[in-house]
Structure 1
């Protein structure tokens, strides 16, 4: 098993290097990060422009800039911000806010997807399966921003009707000094908005995988030995059905990150989404690169963890 994990890690490191070079190249080719400053009226003196270019490393060749940036990233130095923002401190505070939303959505979506997928497979083509399928397809069709707006309007009406604030519709709570269990009031609506699409997609994968498992020979053998249907599903079926589901969760992390940017905008969270949009508006390339690299690293790490979990769910993989 250790050799299997070592091989997975050895593959992940080159992937991260290739991703970093691709993203750095795309950002470098996207335009002049000082274009907005140069376009001001009156324009800044050439000496100020040259000073900014030197601070940002724009006066160096492309490959040297990439190597210096990569070395700095490994050491936690994300470079100079055009807006004179401390990138490290901002990332530290905002990353925690966004990961609170993303992890909450992953946990909720995974639990709902497994429950709905397994029940639909056990009741295949029955009335309950049809009802759950309708709910799933509606959830797939609803845009995240529209669902978030609906939830906000519903929460405002509910709060007014009861005369108290049950659900918070603006802010993430952490930047308002809220801690502990009270912060759940800020999380519930954004997590639900972010979960709807992804849970619906995952539940279809679980359903399809579980239907295939139920028809497997080892499941028929377990039933022939006297195990009840639900015992056979729990002991033998679910573990095998979750093998492809682990990959789907890891691959869809990037989709969740994109959905989190929209969700944070709707609910006005000061997380990584707001940080990215502000950097794009100001062409702050070092903030954009730091943002992309952090989530690219997280995506590759999750796929690495998925490969390791594969080895535990199906020992044949780690022993092959």
Structure 2
């Protein structure tokens, strides 16, 4: 395995080298970096032209300039990267640090959400092949897949921000809206549940009544502007996650499994109660340590009381703890929602930028996180839904192919529970092609982020690349290439390594 990894690393470095040579050459020959100065009638024009020629070293052959740039990049091996300077003399290292932070935060979140949601719906569509749910998921996936990034981003700005902010001024639901939303949710729930028509009808009725009642409660209590937050969020999430992950990874009929996951949830909630004062104004390191402590407790409880299926129960408990920590974030953000609403003057969902300029709540952890989150919602949703479409289609296709294999039929013939057949036999083998898609999709999302950032006014990698290319300024362009191309190559290398882990035969 070690030799396999070293070989992949060597191949990846060679690809980066040849690609950087090609991109640098294309950039320096893409236009005239002095064009804007040549078109001026300023008396000092020639002096400014000479200064820029000296700053950009335009009298040197581009091969020499590339070699000097490459030497600066090789300094990364000593943790002393030098990405050069732009045509104005600004250090590209500083420009890149600010731009990359915004873009990678956006793309990484979109990728994670796209994988989780897309793989889930792809698996469910494969299990319910040729059902109404399958046809609906397929149709929606094709719509999102075919929509151009800029069109979807503009629609989100209009309906997800401008009109939603207008609605928040007087947040009410009329009866028609409640019936339509509850009906769609009921159709979705009954489509996921397998079984006879009577069972699906009961699920649909329960989903309709539950969602309609929830919307009515939100309407009456003015929850959209003053959310009812509290420990109940963590408790409800803990119970729901314990039941869900036990059903998926173990079995609800296994009493040790459900008791272990519920015990892990109770331990995590106890930690939240004990450290409630610190949670009022925490740090990311404190939240990380609390999550780590919850995971350690979950593993200990599972190994002690898990019985014969300790590994499956352990993973169910760990995911339950992670879900509760997510509920903590939602809970405390909801507690600060009303304050944030006042600070942004009733326009909480932003249509431009990655942070609010001169935000008065920047010193408060939760208000600062709220500001960052609300700016992330629309661009992340734009990238996520396009990513979900591809993951759904590929996951469905891969699962259908695996479900037709002999070893899956053998597992069912041996009498194994259906969830065991799906998770341990079918899903793991279906992951092989999905691993490749993850690598390529991450790179394509960075490309899509350039357009999305333009629509939402983000100061990220897209703006850095666009400005540098327009100015025929190679150093910032190469900085963009090294981050985006490096991540793409890294993801493909990790995909090859994951191949070898999932299927040991590939190592040979």
TM-score, L = length of structure 2: 0.60
1:1-320 alignment, distance < 5 Å:
1-42=1-42, 44=44, 46=46, 48-75=48-75, 76-154=81-159, 155-163=161-169, 164-173=346-355, 178=362, 179-318=368-507, 320=508
Contact 2:403–2:426 at 8 Å: present in 1 too?
yes
**Aligned equivalents of 2:83, 2:33: Cα separation in 1:** 16
**Aligned equivalents of 1:313, 1:3: Cα separation in 2:** 17
Greater shift in the superposed pair: 169-178 or 131-140: 169-178
How far does residue 210 in structure 1 lie from its aligned partner after superposition? 0.5
**Aligned equivalents of 1:45, 1:96: Cα separation in 2:** 37
How far does residue 47 in structure 1 lie from its aligned partner after superposition? 5.4
Deviations 1:216-245 (A, max 9, x none): 111111111111222201111111101111
Contact 1:56–1:79 at 8 Å: present in 2 too?
no
How far does residue 48 in structure 1 lie from its aligned partner after superposition? 4.5
Greater shift in the superposed pair: 49-58 or 130-139: 49-58
SS at 1:135 equivalent: helix
**Aligned equivalents of 1:80, 1:38: Cα separation in 2:** 22
Unpaired runs of at least 5, structure 2: 76-80, 170-345, 363-367
TM-score, L = length of structure 1: 0.93
Contact 2:33–2:472 at 8 Å: present in 1 too?
yes
SS at 1:158 equivalent: helix
Cα distance change, pair 3–31 in 1 and its aligned pair in 2 (3 A)? same
Cα distance change, pair 43–282 in 1 and its aligned pair in 2 (3 A)? farther
Cα distance change, pair 176–271 in 1 and its aligned pair in 2 (3 A)? farther
Greater shift in the superposed pair: 67-76 or 119-128: 67-76
Contact 2:354–2:375 at 8 Å: present in 1 too?
yes
Contact 2:439–2:488 at 8 Å: present in 1 too?
yes
Runs of at least 4 residues off by over 6 Å: none
**Aligned equivalents of 1:174, 1:6: Cα separation in 2:** 45
**Aligned equivalents of 1:138, 1:37: Cα separation in 2:** 46
Deviations 1:222-280 (A, max 9, x none): 11111122220111111110111111111122321121111111111111112222223
**Aligned equivalents of 2:26, 2:69: Cα separation in 1:** 14
Contact 1:83–1:284 at 8 Å: present in 2 too?
no
Structure with the greater alpha carbon radius of gyration: 2
How far does residue 175 in structure 1 lie from its aligned partner after superposition? 6.3
How many corresponding residue pairs? 319
Unpaired runs of at least 5, structure 1: none
Greater shift in the superposed pair: 246-255 or 40-49: 40-49
Cα distance change, pair 43–289 in 1 and its aligned pair in 2 (3 A)? farther
Cα distance change, pair 174–292 in 1 and its aligned pair in 2 (3 A)? farther
Cα distance change, pair 173–308 in 1 and its aligned pair in 2 (3 A)? same
How far does residue 78 in structure 1 lie from its aligned partner after superposition? 2.0
Deviations 1:48-99 (A, max 9, x none): 5344323322222232221111112233222231133332111101101111
Contact 2:356–2:371 at 8 Å: present in 1 too?
no
SS at 2:86 equivalent: coil
**Aligned equivalents of 1:47, 1:271: Cα separation in 2:** 32
**Aligned equivalents of 2:42, 2:470: Cα separation in 1:** 21
**Aligned equivalents of 1:43, 1:19: Cα separation in 2:** 41
**Aligned equivalents of 2:371, 2:37: Cα separation in 1:** 43
Alignment RMSD, CA only?
Answer: 1.9
**Aligned equivalents of 1:63, 1:84: Cα separation in 2:** 21
How far does residue 198 in structure 1 lie from its aligned partner after superposition? 2.0
